[in-house]
Chain A
Amino acid sequence: MIRRAGLAASGAAAAALALPSVAAAHGIVGRADLPIPGWLFGWAAAVVLVVSFVALALLWPEARLEHTRQRRVIALPAAADLVLGVAGIAIFAAGVYAGLAGTQTAAANLMPRLVFVGFWVGVPVASVVFGDVFRLLSPWRAAARAVAWAAGRLGLRGPAALPYPARLGWWPAVAGIFAFAWVELVYTGRDDPSTLAVLALAYAAIQLVGMSVYGIEAWSRNADAFGVYFSLFARLSAWVRRDGALWLRVPLSGTTSLPTPPGVVALLAVSIGSTAFDGAAEGQLWTEAGPKLQQLFVDLGFSLQAGLEIAFTIGLAGAILVIAGIYHLGVRGMHGVRPALSTRELSRQFVHTLIPIAFAYVLAHYFSFLAYEGQAFAFLISDPLGDGSNLFGTAGQTIDYSLFSATAIWYIQVIVLVTGHVSGLMLAHDRALTVYRSPREATRSQYWMLVVMVGFTSLGLWLLSVSNQ
């Protein structure tokens, strides 16, 4: 991820110029995965096809994942909100403080890894394992709730919240996630700790204003980009919190109750597309096309850095459009099976099937990143500012890059992508049984979703393989 800033600039066209401003944007990571070898790529692609057709023949004839039972496991007192909320605010404050007051060397400062490793990759993984943890950890939501509680105790009453505009739907979240992906993959100052701290403060300020105008819950569930985005992954989880208790449910079943406000399809397209672009940006296609595109804008009078950012912005937007296009293709196909169902309706009815695909992309691409860079927190918590302090005696810890063999990482990537594929297929099959009247129509519609899923999974495999290098 982060490390690739100088790539396009170091391509043939711009190599001689070696602009320090671009080159200096070197990342916190100096390691990349080896590409999946050709034989494993071929085998995995074959498995995807075999699994898909077997699934067509074997999948259940009645919907099973919709309206599943949940089992109450344990009471979850309100104290959990307090503890996690305080933790979230403390982590946020520590990161922002480190970013502003600490060393500006990205790798030695807590903030860049906190944002790109812990927050961006760690929270989605935690959401799948434990459920919607970010809802409780969210520093802005916790702060707003604390203020609301305090105001209530003091008997203060502000003006009533405005109704959240339904037309806006999840579009503010789409904009927020796109902005984050842009900072992560395009912006050349992405690793600068103080810039990240300022961006985090600005984001939190926008959230606080939004919550105060439209109400904490309405805003959090629609417009807080990260609250909305992380909650998608939490829907895959076996754990859900409801009525003051923790409940166990069938994994994946939470996705079937995904709300479908305006922007929901775009949000998933941005998620999958940005991860895809990150993979593609390391591949041959982009390392050849990127510098040419950059040169085009440099010739138009932009600086090398601006040209690079414009080129990467186009690449990122292009990848998102490709993903949206693949999904739309499947929807068009399903529309043909029963024209009475509009593409708009179908598009929303099946969008939850993309959640496991999106998570598979994130995990396959960033698994090693999380496993290795996550280890950095061992020394960063002792020396968050990078000033040589040793708060917990762990400042001397290092990252063990020999934890996983390259082969193990390849297998994990393949297993993750195939699992995501099968999950998406099952969800689509299940939904088709409820949307289409006859099982026959449902099956016919699913040939199209099969094409979509095979497309996404093959693309995901290809991006990680030698074919992309």
Chain B
Amino acid sequence: MNRNQRIGLALAALALVITGFLLLRPKDDGGSAPATTAATETAAPGTTAPATVPTTTAPVPPPPRVTTIAVKDGAPVGGEKTITVTSGDTVRLRVTANVADVIHVHGYDLEKPVPAGGSVTFTFKATSEGVFDVEAHSTDTKIAKLEVTP
């Protein structure tokens, strides 16, 4: 193979790789998919979600979802849940506990006490991407994972 052939081959490979990247890359850059949560979802209080949705709805911003996690004796009821949100969304997380505890959202470094038999609500904007642990500090148990996707 002479020099020109080598350069040609390298360029062809480069073109192939770049074309592949452009074709495969997802198109919806910055498109915000509605927040989906794997955990139990309830419409936020105040926004009465009608059972019959009007047929001609323009894409209105979805109402902020509240994810509720019940903690019993320092462990999550029903196992560790994954809350998935898109970067920039507002996270609303409600934690109930039967014994007094401190709930810690890692990465966002939010820490709030929850009284015995009571609940605590975190509302914050998901600005850091990644998978973050939510912990109950009484037992240092992970009660949920917060997944913030691009």
The chain B residue with its CB closest to the CB of A398 is B109
Given contacts A26-B135, A30-B106, A39-B24, contact A405 B13 (CB under 8 A): no
Complex interface: chain A residues within 8 A of B10 (CB): 54, 58
CB of A450, distance to nearest CB on chain B (Å):
15
Q: Is A78 an interface residue (CB 8 A)?
A: no
Do B20 and A43 touch (CB < 8 A)?
yes
Query: Which residues of chain A are within 8 angstroms of B75 by Cβ–Cβ distance?
Result: 18
Does A47 lie within 8 Å of B17, measured CB to CB?
yes
Q: Which of A377-406 contact B (CB under 8 A)?
A: 398-399, 401-402, 405-406
Q: Give the number of residues in B that approach A within 8 Å (Cβ atoms).
A: 38
Are A401 and B130 CB-contacts (below 8 A) given A10-B80, A10-B142? Answer: yes
Q: Binary interface profile of B, 119-131, with partner A (CB < 8 Å = 1, else 0)?
A: 0000000011111
**Distance (whole angstroms) from the CB of B112 to the closest CB of chain A:** 15
**Smallest Cβ distance from B71 to chain A, in angstroms?**
12
Known: A34-B149, A57-B9, A401-B107. A406 touches B130 (CB 8 A): yes
In the complex formed, the residue of A with least CB distance to B106 is A30
A37 and B129 CA atoms in complex are apart in Å by 14
**How many angstroms between the C-alpha atoms of A407 and B127 in the bound complex?**
14
Report B-chain residues with C-beta under 8 Å of the C-beta of A250: none
> For residue B64, which residues in chain A have a CB less than 8 angstroms away from its CB?
none
List, in ascending order, chain A residues with CB within 8 A of B26's CB.
37, 39
Contacts A31-B133, A57-B1; A402 near B128 (Cβ below 8 A): yes
Does any Cβ of B come within 8 Å of A20's Cβ?
yes
Please name all residues of chain B whose beta carbon is closer than 8 Å to the beta carbon of A6 when the two chains form the complex: 141-142
Smallest Cβ distance from B114 to chain A, in angstroms? 18
Q: Does A46 contact B (CB under 8 A)?
A: yes
Contact A34 B9 (CB under 8 A): no
State A236–B8 Cα separation when bound (angstroms).
30
- In the complex, whether A42 has a CB less than 8 A from a CB of chain B is yes
Tell whether A50 is near chain B: CB-to-CB under 8 Å: yes
Whether A18 pairs with B130 at a CB distance below 8 angstroms is no
Nearest CB of chain B from residue A421's CB, rounded to whole Å: 14
Any B CB within 8 A of the CB of A451: no
B16 part of interface (Cβ distance < 8 Å): yes
Indicate whether A299 reaches chain B with its CB closer than 8 angstroms: no
In angstroms, Cα B104 to Cα A43, docked, is 37
B20 near A46 (CB under 8 angstroms)? yes
B76 to chain A, nearest CB (A): 10
Contact present for A18 and B129 (CB under 8 Å): no
Asked if B24 and A33 make an inter-chain contact with CB atoms under 8 angstroms apart, the answer reads no
Residues of B within 8 Å of A162, CB to CB, are none
With the chains together, A194 CA to B131 CA distance in Å?
29
Evaluate contact between B13 and A43: CB separation under 8 angstroms: no
Q: A422: shortest Cβ distance to chain B, in Å? A: 12
Residue A32, interface by CB 8 Å:
yes
Closest to A38 in B: B24
Given contacts A401-B107, A405-B150, contact A26 B142 (CB under 8 A): yes
Considering the chains assembled together, what is the distance between the CA atoms of A203 and B100 in angstroms? 42
B101 proximal to A (CB < 8 A): no
Which residues of chain B have C-beta atoms less than 8 A from A39's C-beta? 24-26
Contact A31 B141 (CB under 8 A): no
Given the known interface contacts A402-B127, A406-B150, the answer about A20 and B24 at a Cβ–Cβ threshold of 8 Å is no
A24's closest neighbor in chain B, by CB?
B140
Partner of B132, one of A26, A31, A47: A31
CA distance A325 to B150 in the complex (A): 37
A281 CB to nearest B CB, Å:
15
Having A46-B20, A57-B6, A401-B130, one finds 16 other A-B pairs with CB under 8 Å, namely A18-B139, A23-B140, A23-B141, A24-B140, A30-B135, A33-B130, A34-B130, A39-B26, A47-B20, A54-B9, A57-B9, A58-B6, A401-B128, A402-B129, A405-B150, A406-B150
The 10 residue pairs across chains A and B that have the minimum distance between CB atoms: A30-B106, A406-B129, A401-B128, A30-B133, A402-B128, A32-B131, A54-B13, A39-B24, A401-B107, A26-B140
